[in-house]
Amino acid sequence: MSDPTIAASPLLEVEDLHVGTGTTEILRGIDLVIRSGELHAIMGPNGSGKSTLANVLLGNPEYTVTKGRIAFKGEDVTYLAPDARGKLGMFLAFQDPEEVAGVPVSQFLRQAAAQRRGRDVSVLEIRVQIQEWLDRLGMDRAFGERHLNDGFSGGEKKRNEILQMALLDPELAILDETDSGLDIDGLRVVGKGIEEVRRVRPELGVIVVTHYQRILEDLSPDYVHVLVDGRIVESGGASLAKRLEHEGYDAWRS
């Protein structure tokens, strides 16, 4: 469980959030409060709105907020652009990261870190930080010179997202199905990577979006939320995830 002394005021507040695309409503009144240091798991079946929620929190313009509010550190960010949210300290790890041939991981991270920190970041500074985190995450030191996700395996793409999370030092990290496509060993590596970042930065708030309970075996969720048909239908502790693993989602379907 997170340390309640880290912060009493919410890091993220989502109030009665309704979201759609075109004439289709996807999220139908989401309420969610996350404080610094907490790890929340959002679980639900395919089509429940989990990835929509993750994308809307970071301002994906493909979705339209029709009602409700998103506040980060007390500031209304409902209609703020994605890059502005990133500068404020919000981070999204993508379910299927894009491949960018010709751009080394180190170059990408240097540019992203400069945007996040609001200042130039030298080649030496970012190189030292990348090497430090590659060691912490148990990754090959040559990883930083590979082209961004180009030819990466599924596990390497997900570990690269965790590396980005570590280097960019967000205050809130949203991990959209980071466990998808991973075998048991890959899940364990990614889970341990997330926990290592949380160990170094205990104030980090984390939202893990997932179908399955397996990745939560290597994490310690403070809260688990069940999302079905665009609504959070139940919230609880880690035991709720285990219940879902055994019973499925039928009990919560309308």
Contact between 11 and 171 (Cβ < 8 Å): yes
Residue type, 9: S
Q: How far apart are CA 222 and CA 243, in angstroms?
A: 15
Residue 250, Cβ density class (10 Å: 0-12 exposed, 13-18 middle, ≥19 buried):
exposed
Three-class secondary structure of residue 20 per DSSP = strand
Which pair of tokens denotes residue 42?
A: 């959002």
Which residue ranges make up each domain of the chain? 10-252
Task: Identify the CATH number of the domain defined by range 10-252.
Answer: 3.40.50.300
Mean pLDDT by 10 residues, the chain (254 residues): 56 98 94 97 93 96 96 96 94 85 92 92 94 92 89 87 93 89 81 92 95 83 95 94 86 76
Which pair of tokens denotes residue 70?
A: 């998103």
- 17: β partners: 30
Contact between 19 and 64 (Cβ < 8 Å): yes
